[in-house]
Amino acid sequence: MRLQKFLARAGAASRRGSENLMTAGRVTVNGRVVTELGSKVDPLVDEVAVDGITVRLSDEAVTIALNKPSDVVTTMSDPQGRRCVAELVPTDRYPGLYPIGRLDRDTTGLLLFSTDGELGHGLLHPKSHVEKRYIARVEGVPAEKDLERLRRGIELDDGMTLPAHVKLLRTCGNPAKRADLEIRIHEGRKRQVRRMCEAIGHPVASLHRTDFGAVSLGDLPEGSWRRVEGEELAALYGALR
């Protein structure tokens, strides 16, 4: 098995992240640093380590859903000492958990983790077209013509977005000063929903993700997690086909 694939499947990092670990000289095989991408290992024989910590394939991949609170960064460690998602998920019980994508520090809601790096890589790949659903509270009340711009696709600094499903759910205040929008997208650009709303002149006041593909947050309490199993898990893997 290719070393970067082994690392991803073991949950050490995403596939791209595993390549970065290798080129940075942080990966050893049987005590020898291996930096060449494409190097192969035998999972049954070779001992692989990252930063001196042995990495193994688990017998069963585990995927979990977290209801991420605000003011938490999507990283497994933070040199600046900020609160990170690793504090909220059971890494002691399931070593190798790694977030699938990310949510901004101030964005709340559904964040998936898995020990299967291949699953994470596949769900984030553009060809998978996995839909994410957000509830965005924006400043002001967008006109229908502005919502239609988002539905058709809107020009951002990194190019045109794909068409989005956008619906005005409710207005807030009397007189109305804010609005709640349902926004469904198939892309995963950095701060995409926030930038889309800014582009129509209605900046986001708060953002919450409720769904990632077949997985819904439901009534999972903030800061809590649950395992993703059964039909939900099968649907996530089915999205990779």
CATH number, domain with residue 118? 3.30.70.580
pLDDT in tens, 176-231: 899 999 999 999 899 999 999 999 999 999 999 999 999 999 999 999 999 999 99
Spot the catalytic one: 104, 106, 180, 211.
104
**Into how many domains does the chain fold?**
3
What is residue 171's predicted lDDT score, i.e. its pLDDT?
96
CATH number, domain with residue 185? 3.30.70.1560
- Looking only at the bridges linking them, the beta strands covering 98-99 and 108-114 are antiparallel
pLDDT in tens, 52-87: 988 877 657 899 999 999 999 999 888 898 999 999
Total-model pTM: 0.78
Specify whether 121 is located in the same domain as 137: no
Specify whether 142 is located in the same domain as 199: yes
Q: Is 46 a catalytic residue?
A: no
Average pLDDT along the chain: 92
Domain that residue 164 falls in: 131-212
Specify whether 155 is located in the same domain as 117: no
Specify whether 156 is located in the same domain as 195: yes
Q: When comparing pLDDT for 204 and 128, which is higher?
A: 204
What is residue 59's predicted lDDT score, i.e. its pLDDT?
58
Question: What is the Cα–Cα distance from 239 to 241, expressed in whole angstroms?
Answer: 6
**Gyration radius of the chain's alpha carbons:** 20
Pick the closest to residue 132 from 238, 190, 212 (CA basis): 212
pLDDT in tens, 7-25: 877 777 777 888 999 999 9
Specify whether 187 is located in the same domain as 151: yes
CATH number, domain with residue 50? 3.10.290.10
3-state secondary structure of 147: helix
Specify whether 151 is located in the same domain as 208: yes
Specify whether 135 is located in the same domain as 199: yes
